[in-house]
Amino acid sequence: MSEATYLNNQFIIAMPNLADPNFFHTVTYMCQHNHEGALGIVINRSTGMKLGEIFKQMDIRVTSDTAAEAPIYAGGPVQQDRGFVVHTSCGKWDATMPVSDTISLTTSRDVIEAIAVGEGPERFLVALGYAGWGEGQLEKEIRDNAWLNSPFGTKVLFDLPINMRWAAAAGQIGVDINQLTMPAGHG
């Protein structure tokens, strides 16, 4: 694949026939995609936890009630005990990878501490775990029609209720994901 065809800063949307329970009906925000593989954060699966629980576990002082109520997402099946923060780019954090000019991925404690006191990024999504693919794996899955890619959209990433994100991400490219059906046979 050429650099132009990598899916950095895009969504990949699980096709209705993708039965893997880790990815059934998911939207994944692609943070890194290159010849070595890919890393993304699933943005429409809740852990049922709130960020306040993470603050407590990490013994972080909290002054922002809003931050404490933020949902924690299940970012994918890899390293589910590790936090990943997708956020609007700002500040200098210890372990940040720019995804685009406006969005970054941070894995260091300092961004969580800043969010807890209302000094973190303006917009953020906190996930436990990530989705990862080895060299050529995602490309093969795309050829096998497991995924549909769509452009990044701030509204889908940060604003919509999680149960609306799958259809909305596909809708950005004019696809009604609920109308897609599995192939009838394997000729």
Q: What percentage of the chain carries pLDDT values higher than 90?
A: 84
Tracing tokens 């209705």 back to the chain, one arrives at: 16
Supply the range of the domain harboring residue 122. Answer: 3-179
184 assigned to some structural domain: no
Between CA 106 and CA 83 the distance in angstroms is: 9
Greatest CA separation for the chain = 60
The answer for residues whose C-beta is within 8 angstroms of residue 170's C-beta and 6 or more apart is 13, 148, 150, 176, 177
- Average pLDDT taken over every residue of the chain: 91
- Residue among 42, 64, 48, 160 nearest 112 (CA): 64
Please state the pTM of the whole predicted model.
Answer: 0.92
pLDDT in tens, 110-154: 999 999 999 999 999 999 999 999 999 999 999 999 999 999 999
What is the rounded distance in angstroms from the CA atom of residue 1 to the CA atom of residue 34? 8
Whole-number Å distance between alpha carbons of 181 and 148: 13
Q: Is residue 19 part of a domain?
A: yes
Q: What is the pLDDT of residue 186?
A: 42
CB-side exposure of 17: number of CA atoms within 13 Å? 14
CATH number assigned to the domain comprising residue 115: 3.40.1740.10
Which residues, in sequence order, are CB contacts of 29 under 8 Å at separation 6+? 11, 40, 41, 43, 86, 99, 152, 157
Determine the Cα–Cα distance for residues 166 and 12; give it in Å rounded to an integer: 10
CB 35 within 8 A of CB 133: no
For residue range 78-119, list pLDDT tens digits in order.
999 999 999 998 878 899 999 999 999 999 999 999 999 999
- Does some domain include residue 186? no
User: Residue 185: inside a domain, yes or no?
Assistant: no
- Is residue 187 one of the residues assigned to a domain? no
User: How many alpha carbons lie under 13 Å from residue 119 in its C-beta half-sphere?
Assistant: 11
Give the count of domains, the chain. 1
Dist CA 159 CA 21 (whole Å):
25
Report CA-CA distances (Å) from 106 to 115, 125, 143, 172.
12, 10, 30, 26
> Can you list the alpha helix ranges (DSSP code H) found in 20-178?
51-57, 65-68, 109-116, 137-143, 154, 162-171
